[in-house]
Amino acid sequence: MERRGAVKVSNDWLMTGRLRSCSKLTVPCGLIHSPGFPLALPFSQTYPLCCIDIRSFTEQYYQFSEGFAEHHRDIDDVLRKALDNLLIKQVSENIQRRLQMINNLSQLSQIVVNVLFFQTACSDLETLLVTLRATQRGGTIHLDSLASFQQTLKLTQDRIVANISHKMDSFFEEAEYQWTISNAPGADEASGYLMDLIDFLSTVMMSVLIQLPEFSKDYVYRGALAHCSMVLMSYLTDAQPRMISDQALAYIAIDVRWLQSHITNLNNPHLADVFTELDQVSFPCLLHWSHMPSLTSFCGGRLAPRRCAC
Amino acid sequence: MSQLTNLLLTLFERYSQLLQRKFSSDFESIVLGDDHQSMVVNDDEEYQKVVSVSWLPPSGEWSAAELSK
């Protein structure tokens, strides 16, 4: 698997002796088949470099402890705590700190992938530490760093959603709803800005975020669409605009219908209900806006703040 | 004997602190120096080295079996 835009990384680190003395802890090379080259790996260089350090750190711990077996129980616990501390403080939390400085979606999705690999490493380390421990007592070893990486994963995905939402806001700035319009919509066509916004979002999901695993893509996609739903809902429930005509509500209802049908066409159960609440609020305006008491008159000029019961 | 054991444990604690300090700065510089871009390996030797040290999931598109396709 080769990806465009992948950067050729100097292999200096491979030659600098970082791989020294890790032989007992590494996978036998005979088990691995060779692909075509050059090959872009899913993770960035941070991951294998940290793996080497984790192996080296573990090995150096046990090198010292050889010779006084009666205290190995303490040494096992000291090693586990030290490793946990290093992974949480120096890896996971440093990744979290760097997140605040990164706005590039491609780089953020690379961090998601890296963090998922670190989660794999934590799980494998828990098993490895059991086999390495000097006193062959039973029981499992639990690393708290796994929970820390899960938190980092969530923060990274939320950062991606916030970044996309920020860009989506610029599309909403182009929205030209006329809140007191008296002419009914002539056609069932959605607003241009909204179609552009959805085009933008689809493109982002299929291009810069392509390397995300499906569950992560679903999380981000749903988060971005929920932001879209929240902004549209805010038109109906917030203090501004103060007045919305029945006809203007019908324009919004048409837009929401279009969004709903777009989501239906995506055929993704994780996204299916993201506009449901908004649709339930706005759809009655579309059905009978000229015949029924309007939502606005029900609610005394505008919908009640937050989740109007109409 | 117990004095020797105590000495060894004290030495071990000191060794542990030094080891953690050394690796703390190593990990920090690795994470802060990341370019956040896919790592590219250019030949089989590099590939084998990276895959032999990195923990990979046992199955799925990121497993060693799939990466090598």
DSSP of chain A: ---TTPEEPP-HHHHTTTTTT-GGGSPPGGG-----SSEE-SS-THHHHHHHHHHHHHHHHHHHHTT-GGGHHHHHHHHHHHHHHIIIIIIIHHHHHHHTT---HHHHHHHHHHHHHHHHHHHHHHHHHHHH-SS---S----THHHHHHHHHHHHHHHHHHHHHHHHHHHHTT----TT--SPPSS-PPPHHHHHHHHHHHHHHHTTTTTS-HHHHHHHHHHHHHHHHHHHHHHHHSSSSS---HHHHHHHHHHHHHHHHHHHHHT-TTTTTTTHHHHHHHHHHHHHTTTSPPHHHHTTTSPPSSS---
Contact status of B59 with chain A (Cβ, < 8 Å): no
Across A182-186, A227-231, A234-238, the highest mean pLDDT is recorded for A227-231
Compute the nearest-CA separation of A225 from chain B (Å).
Answer: 26
Give a yes or no: residue B60 inside a domain. Answer: yes
Smallest CA–CA distance from B5 into chain A, residue: A68
Residue B11: pLDDT band (50, 70, 90) is: confident
Contact status of A78 with chain B (Cβ, < 8 Å): yes
State the best of A18, A33, A59 to mutate against chain B, taking most chain B CBs within 10 Å.
Answer: A33
Residue A281: pLDDT band (50, 70, 90) is: confident
Smallest CA–CA distance from B9 into chain A, residue: A71
Residue A296: pLDDT band (50, 70, 90) is: very low
Compute the nearest-CA separation of A119 from chain B (Å).
Answer: 10
Stretch B4-15: mean pLDDT: 83
Stretch B15-42: mean pLDDT: 94
Number of domains in chain B: 1
What is the Cα–Cα distance from A265 to A298, expressed in whole angstroms?
A: 33
Stretch A56-83: mean pLDDT: 79
Stretch A134-147: mean pLDDT: 82
Contact status of A32 with chain B (Cβ, < 8 Å): yes
Name the phi and psi angles at A257, rounded to 5. -60, -45
Percent of chain A with pLDDT over 90: 60
What is the Cα–Cα distance from A279 to A292, expressed in whole angstroms?
A: 17
SS3 B41: strand
* A25 pLDDT higher than 60: no
Tokens of A164: 């996309």
Contact at CB, A68 and B8, closer than 8 angstroms = yes
Residue B8: pLDDT band (50, 70, 90) is: confident
Stretch A246-255: mean pLDDT: 92
DSSP character at residue B9:
H
Q: Which domain holds residue B49?
A: 2-31+41-67
Give a yes or no: residue B14 inside a domain. Answer: yes
Contact at CB, A117 and B50, closer than 8 angstroms = no
Stretch A18-32: mean pLDDT: 46
Compute the nearest-CA separation of A216 from chain B (Å).
Answer: 15
Contact at CB, B64 and A31, closer than 8 angstroms = yes
B residues 3-42 closer than 8 Å to A (CB): 5, 8-9, 12-13, 15-16, 19-20, 23-24, 26-28, 30-32, 34-42
Contacts of B46 in chain A (CB under 8 A): 11, 14
Residue A55: pLDDT band (50, 70, 90) is: very high
* A31 pLDDT higher than 80: no
Q: What is the pLDDT of residue B6?
A: 81
A13-17, A51-55, A76-80, A214-218: which has the minimum mean pLDDT? A13-17
Give a yes or no: residue B36 inside a domain. Answer: no
Of B20, B40, B69, the CB nearest to A40: B40
Contacts of A67 in chain B (CB under 8 A): 8
* A189 pLDDT higher than 60: yes
Stretch A144-154: mean pLDDT: 98
